[in-house]
């Protein structure tokens, strides 16, 4: 059911041009994180337009406290799995912490994600300071998604809190967004900023904004797989649990354990047969 999928002629993959067209048409779209083949296939079948292999995988998949320990190898491996699972959705991968400290390093890192994993774009955190890097990547044909507001890779510097609340900070964020757009970014994630600021940025840009904890005025929304499906202990305020899959999974696994312990699983239907004659023949040489 979740086997790797290959492009089929009747399935037209989502492109970056499609996302821009959606913005121009005033139509919203959804981005969702995915970290493995199974999640990618399910989200793709649900019609989610963009899959983000977020470095949030450090927390939700690997159990770290922050995104900082995530390596490029981690991202390449998980991104490749997501690409194998999706048929239609555009796949974007995060450049992890300290893998894009210079434009040349960014090219090498993004190159691995594009060539080895097959993603269609990369996301990086930061504003005006990242302009030379974004420009270089875009010149080389690497689509770049920006990320402003709360940027998790700087968590120790800025703290996990809403950004852009003061007038100066809000102005800087608008300038950063315009600078990223001018450098060639194709979309910008706005994380944990006031809704009115996100709406203003969205109106000023021709490229889509993708909000998380940034209100309904963005062109798109992004959520973390585990948050929307109820797969972790607590979801942040900006997330909505659309299902409690974790509870269902646990109930299913309790049933599994109980059936194993009680001897009711596996049954004959789950087993293969060998006729008594063949079994006797097989056992004959050993007596």
The set of catalytic residues is 191
Q: Does residue 118 come out as left (phi exceeding 0), alpha (psi in the -120 to 50 range) or beta?
A: left
Cα separation of 131 and 210, whole Å?
19
Residue 33 found at the interface with ligand KIV (CB under 6 A): yes
To ligand KIV, the closest distance from the beta carbon of 266 in angstroms equals 39
**Among 29, 39, 54, 180, which residue interacts with ligand KIV (rule: CB under 6 A)?**
54
Near ligand KIV in 84-123, by CB under 6 A: 94
Contact between 121 and 92 (Cβ < 8 Å) = yes
How many CA atoms lie less than 13 Å away from 179 in the CB half-sphere?
Answer: 17
Looking up tokens 């493995």, which residue turns up? 36
- Smallest separation (angstroms) from ligand KIV to the CB of 31: 8
Q: Token pair 């989200």 is at which residue?
A: 43
Q: How far is the CB of 239 from ligand KIV (least distance, A)?
A: 10
Output the CA torsion 137→139→145→147 (10° steps).
60
Interaction with ligand KIV in 183-202: which residues (CB under 6 A)?
189, 191
CB 32 within 8 A of CB 52: yes
Is residue 212 involved in binding ligand KIV (CB under 6 A)? yes
Query: Using CA atoms, how far apart are residues 208 and 231, in angstroms rounded to an integer?
Result: 29
Our finding on whether 181 is near ligand KIV (CB under 6 A) is: no
Select from 224, 228, 229, 231 the one that contacts ligand KIV (CB under 6 A).
224
Instruction: By CB under 6 A, tell whether 56 contacts ligand KIV.
Output: yes
Residue 41 or 218: the one with the smaller Cβ distance to ligand KIV is 218
Residue among 99, 103, 62, 53 nearest 80 (CA): 53
Q: Which stretch binds ligand KIV (CB under 6 A): 51-59, 174-182, 197-205, 269-277?
A: 51-59
Q: Nearest to residue 45, comparing CAs of 75, 79, 2?
A: 2
> Closer to ligand KIV at the Cβ: 35 or 114?
35
In the complex, which residues of this chain contact ligand KIV (CB under 6 A)? 33, 52, 54-56, 94, 189, 191, 212, 222, 224
């Amino acid at each position: 059911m979740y086997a790797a999928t290959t492009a089929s002629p009747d399935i037209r993959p989502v492109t970056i041009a499609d996302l821009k067209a959606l913005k121009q048409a005033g139509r919203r779209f959804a981005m969702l994180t995915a970290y493995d083949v199974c999640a990618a296939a399910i989200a793709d079948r649900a019609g989610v337009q963009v899959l983000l292999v977020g470095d949030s995988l450090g927390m939700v998949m690997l159990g770290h406290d922050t995104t900082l320990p995530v390596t490029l190898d981690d991202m390449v491996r998980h991104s490749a799995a997501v690409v194998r699972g999706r048929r239609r959705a555009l796949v974007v991968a995060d450049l992890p912490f300290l893998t894009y400290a210079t434009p040349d390093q960014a090219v090498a890192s993004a190159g691995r994600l594009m060539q080895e994993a097959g993603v269609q774009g990369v996301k990086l955190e930061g504003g005006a300071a990242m302009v030379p890097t974004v420009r270089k990547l875009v010149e080389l044909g690497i689509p770049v998604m920006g990320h402003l507001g709360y940027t998790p890779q700087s968590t120790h510097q800025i703290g996990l809190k809403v950004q852009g609340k003061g007038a100066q900070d809000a102005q800087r964020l608008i300038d950063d967004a315009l600078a990223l757009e001018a450098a060639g970014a194709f979309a910008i994630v706005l994380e944990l900023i006031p809704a009115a600021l996100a709406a203003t940025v969205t109106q000023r840009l021709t490229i889509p904004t993708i909000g998380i904890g940034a209100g309904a005025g963005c062109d798109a929304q992004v959520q973390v797989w585990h948050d929307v499906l109820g797969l972790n202990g607590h979801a942040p305020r900006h997330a909505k649990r659309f299902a409690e899959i974790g509870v269902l999974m646990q109930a299913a696994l309790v049933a599994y354990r109980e059936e194993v312990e009680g001897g009711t699983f596996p049954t004959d239907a789950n087993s293969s047969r060998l006729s008594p004659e063949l079994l006797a023949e097989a056992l004959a040489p050993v007596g």
